[in-house]
Amino acid sequence: MVDKSSAERILAAVRAIPRGQVAAYGEVAHRAGLPGRARLVARLLSENTDPGLPWHRVLRADGRIAMPLGSEGFREQSRRLRGEGVAVVNGRVDKSTHGGKGLPGIDEQLWGPPPG
């Protein structure tokens, strides 16, 4: 069971991901003040019953959908992402080619985008 405070912070971080953008489980945990707790984020999202939560915007760090290829959840997440203009190819979102883009990491937020 996830403590209420941690769960609320994680859900707030997920809700803050803008339409057409994605974030990794680890980035969500970091934004919730729980660095290193990516699995906690995944577990909480797997238990989610709020139909308005944009859970589909959360992916593995390498841009892959975490659900088994071809499963109902996989198809639903792909459909929702594509509906927001995010390209999903073979179960992976390529942040450099889809209509949306990933959220900036904490370093980029503090220091700006990398040079070049």
Indicate the CATH number for domain 4-99: 1.10.10.10
Percent of the chain, pLDDT > 90? Answer: 72
Q: Could you read off the pLDDT of 40-86 as tens digits, one per residue?
A: 999 999 999 999 999 999 999 999 999 999 999 999 999 999 999 99
Alpha carbon distance 110, 49 (integer Å)? 34
Alpha carbon distance 69, 67 (integer Å)? 6
pLDDT of residue 3: 77
Q: Are 39 and 112 in contact (CB under 8 A)?
A: no
pLDDT of residue 104: 57
The pTM is what?
A: 0.81
